[in-house]
Amino acid sequence: QKVSVEVLDHLEHLALVDFRDSEGVERLQKAIQFADQLHEVNTDGVEPMDSVLEDRWCLYLREDDVTEGNCTKELLENAREKVEEYFVAPPGNIPLPKLEERDTFLQGS
């Protein structure tokens, strides 16, 4: 079962991954095949597991105290561009180019 071009395009939009070439797509299809093995197990009536620690893992509750923050300078050191103390981003999401305009494997497929 092959993954369709539409699905590949959709995945690239959602996750901003680049399958780049046929090898990348092969790898994806093998990964899906591997995961599909899960369907061989009958899970009727079985609750999905959230964690291998099951009941032993208690969610820790923190007291409502202010203990962090106030590190503007440090955080902005990571910014490529800043204006006063704001991070700078493009005006909106830059959409992935349409399939036809892309310079990757999917374009030729």
Partner 1 sequence: LAPWIPVVGLEIHAQISSNSKLFSGSQVQFAAPPNSLVSFFDASLPGTLPVLNRRCVEAAVMTGLALNCSINKKSLFDRKHYFYADLPAGYQITQQRVPIAVNGSLSYTLCIDNKMSQMVTKTVRIKQIQLEQDSGKSLHDDSRCQTLVDLNRAGVGLMEVVMEPDMCCGEEAAAAVRELQLILQTLGSSQAVMAEGQLRVDANVSVHHPGEPYGVRTEVKNINSIRFLAKAVDYEIRRQIEELENGGTILNETRAFDSKLGCTVPMRDKEGKQDYRFMPEPNLPPLILYDAKSLPANMNHQQVINIDWIHERLPDLPSVKREKLVEQYGILPEHSFTLLNEDGLAEFFESVVKQTQMKPKKVIGWILNDLLSYLKQHSLTVKESPVSSFLLADLLNLLEKKEISSTVAKRVLAELWKGEGKTPLEIVKEQKLELLQDQKELEQICQAVIDGQENEVIMMVLG
Contact residues for partner 1, defined by CB under 8 A: 10, 13-16, 50-51, 53, 57-72, 75-76, 78, 83-93, 95
Helix (H, G, I), strand (E, B) or coil at 105: helix
In the complex, minimum distance from the CB of residue 84 to partner 1, in angstroms, rounded to a whole number? 7
Q: Indicate the length of the chain as a whole number.
A: 109
Between 5 and 21, CB nearer to partner 1: 5
Q: Which amino acid is at 19?
A: F
**Rounded CA separation 97/18 (Å):** 12
Between 43 and 108, CB nearer to partner 1: 43
For 38, the token pair is 């899960």
In the complex, minimum distance from the CB of residue 96 to partner 1, in angstroms, rounded to a whole number? 9
In the complex, minimum distance from the CB of residue 33 to partner 1, in angstroms, rounded to a whole number? 20
For 109, the token pair is 């497929």
Between 44 and 64, CB nearer to partner 1: 64
For 64, the token pair is 């409502």
